[in-house]
Amino acid sequence: MTEKKRNTYVDFLRGVAMLIVVLGHTMTGSASGSKESVFFNIVWSLQIPMFILISGYVTRYSRIPDDTRGLFRLLGKRSLAYLLPWFVFTVLLNGIVLGKQELAPGALFFHMDSGYWFLFSLWTISMIFIPARFVALKLSRKEKAVPFVTLCFYLIGMALLGGIGFLAGFDFWCIKLTLYYMPFYCLGYLYGCFRDSVTARFSSAISVITAICGLAWIVSIIKLDLFSLSDTRITDILIRAGVSLCGCIFVSGVFSAFGNTGPVFRFVEWIGVHSMEVYLLHYYFLNLAAVSALPELMTAKGLAMVAANYLIAVVLTSTAAKLLSSNRYLNLILFGKPEKKR
């Protein structure tokens, strides 16, 4: 059943992930040499993997319909939530109004990583995961078997998506990125399924695992340039994914030790609840404090420039998100969020 009360800690972690996304985009536009720095290694290893893990985890709070009619209704809602904002911001605003996006099909569908590719990846993952879980619930006689049957059909969906990528090219529809992040989504889902039993049985080992993951993550981000690892070598892909997973486990474990009260927590939690709005809007407020020549990141001027632009981006983005989402029509058209029935 769907839980009525939101998990504020999960929203907080989602907010942390989104703020890291904004930081990464701020760094690359505010200072030169950002991508070669340890700071960018930290940001890049966490930002999207952490968000995708959380997205998979929160499926534990969602209810899958009992019939095919409800299934297609749910798929339609997810399509509205992801594809409408993608169309509005990519085609209408950036393409037609601002002229920043080339609207030729090749540019739109084969170079999505330069724009709002994340929405298309989440939509693709949802179109695979939701039917997989629906079929698993229909076929499984025991509740404990549902996650494993879901995993089987999810892997079949990944294979079919890989086949499309093989035929059309893995840059089409950001298939390469989607396939890379799909395991993170599934791991988040599986952890959500077994979290209670794992916590009850292995509570004493969790802190040890967190510490080991933290050590592995710190050593890796110091010694490896994760951003430069190959996208085609399996070993490099596995190394990058493993480092990101360790980092996500460590950061989540560290934040769990802090209290969930105070204005900072509430603000980051709000960012998590409104992560869609922040993701879509923050591009318009990046690097407003500009200079003719970008300073080096690891200088006082470079760090100050990043800090100033980051503060400006966060404040203006959150303000714009709050104002725009308060109108039910703009909330639907811009962010794909229909007004909830009372």
Residue with tokens 């998506």: 161
The answer to whether 219 and 45 are in contact (CB under 8 A) is no
- Two tokens, residue 65: 């319909």
For residue 228, the model assigns a pLDDT of 87
HSE, CB side, 13 Å, CA atoms: give it for residue 25.
Answer: 24
Cα(108)–Cα(140) distance, rounded to whole angstroms? 40
> In this predicted structure, what is the pLDDT of residue 308?
96
What's the pLDDT at 206? 86
∠ Cα 38 39 45 (to 5°): 85
First to last CA, the chain: 18
- pLDDT reported for residue 318: 97
Chain CA centroid to CA 115, Å: 14
**Tokens linked to 283:** 């591009």
Per-residue pLDDT of the chain (342 residues; tens, 9 = 90+): 344 467 888 999 999 999 999 999 999 999 999 988 999 999 999 999 999 999 999 998 888 888 999 999 999 999 999 999 999 999 999 999 999 988 888 888 898 877 799 999 999 999 999 999 999 999 998 888 999 999 999 999 999 999 999 999 999 999 999 999 999 999 999 999 998 888 877 777 888 999 999 999 999 999 999 988 988 899 999 999 999 999 999 999 888 777 677 888 999 999 999 999 999 999 999 999 877 789 999 999 999 999 999 999 999 999 999 999 999 999 999 999 987 655
Whether the pTM exceeds 0.85: the reply is yes
Structure tokens of 158?
């990944």
Radius of gyration of the chain (CA): 20
What pLDDT is recorded for position 1? Answer: 35
Angle at 34 between CA 101 and CA 47, to 5 degrees: 70
Which pLDDT belongs to residue 90? 94
pLDDT reported for residue 204: 78
Q: What is the DSSP string of 135-167?
A: HHHHH-SSGGGHHHHHHHHHHHHHHHHHHHHHH
- Beta carbons of 182 and 158 less than 8 angstroms apart: yes
35 neighbors 227 (Cβ within 8 angstroms) = yes
User: What pLDDT was estimated at residue 292?
Assistant: 78
